[in-house]
Amino acid sequence: MANLRIFVDVVKTFQNWPTHLLDHFKLLPPGQIRYRMRNGARFQVRAGTLDSMVLREIWVRDDYTPEGFEIPRDAIVLDVGGHVGAFAVRASRMAPRGKVYVFEPTPQNFALLRQNIELNHASNVTTFNLALLGHAGSRQITLCDDQVSHSLFGGSPDRKRLEVQGISLADFMKQENLSRIDFMKMDCEGAEFEILQECPDEVLCRIQKLAAELHDLDEQRNRRMLAEFLKSKGFQIIADPHKEHMLYAKRPPAPKP
């Protein structure tokens, strides 16, 4: 039943849904394809990769914006791990009076990200060919053929590596003169731990909502430990038994006077 429900939602979301199904089952030749959403959004992606899966996570399953984690129309949004822009475009539409800042360090993904931002006329999105990290500097990132799982951590020795530049959350907020972050989306293959745990309290307290795909690295960097850390910093953790790979956290409402 779950697969049937997803199929129905795919048909409702994608105008050219047969192409999506062929792509999902790896039945398309290599190369770029363009997805057309029924709401008018357009995305240039790569057949044979996990690009289509990311679109489905964001536009069909609402992995980052479930009930209670809607994006306000005037929100300041950070998209950490922007990939090809699927979430950035959606956030741009949800926050037409807001601003979306996107981080994507790898060149191929960043090129498609920029293309999709322009394709969707998302003028309130600003892109950065940078990694958001716990502290500024250059790092080696391991590249993966699926174009989604590029990571600063692990990877087999025979994988291609690329040097990328990074900036901390505190430095970025100072650079952009941001006093708050209304919504922070994270899909950064393990970097979420250092980004949040190395962030000064006076910066961390400015984040109102956080939706992150988590990647267990070791005994100290895993879902349970990050949830406990965020609780200790004043966040409420919202559990979704159907999305155990996700972490949802938000600031409790201010007490009434």
Do 21 and 100 lie in one domain? The reply is: no
CB atoms within 10 A of CB 150: 26
The 3 state secondary structure assigned to 19-39 is: HHHHHHCCCCCCEEEEEEECC
Question: Which domain range does residue 38 map to?
Answer: 1-61
* Per-residue model confidence as pLDDT tens digits over 103-150: 999 999 999 999 999 999 999 999 999 999 999 999 999 888 888 888
Do 246 and 134 lie in one domain? The reply is: yes
The H or E element that residue 143 is part of is none
Separation of alpha carbons 188 and 186, rounded Å: 6
Do 79 and 168 lie in one domain? The reply is: yes
Do 37 and 78 lie in one domain? The reply is: no
255 within some domain? no
pLDDT band at 10 (very low <50, low <70, confident <90, very high): very high
Quick check: pTM over 0.85?
yes
44 within some domain? yes
Do 114 and 19 lie in one domain? The reply is: no
Separation of alpha carbons 189 and 180, rounded Å: 24
pLDDT for 220 equals 82
Separation of alpha carbons 65 and 75, rounded Å: 13
Separation of alpha carbons 73 and 97, rounded Å: 6
pLDDT for 74 equals 98
Separation of alpha carbons 87 and 51, rounded Å: 12
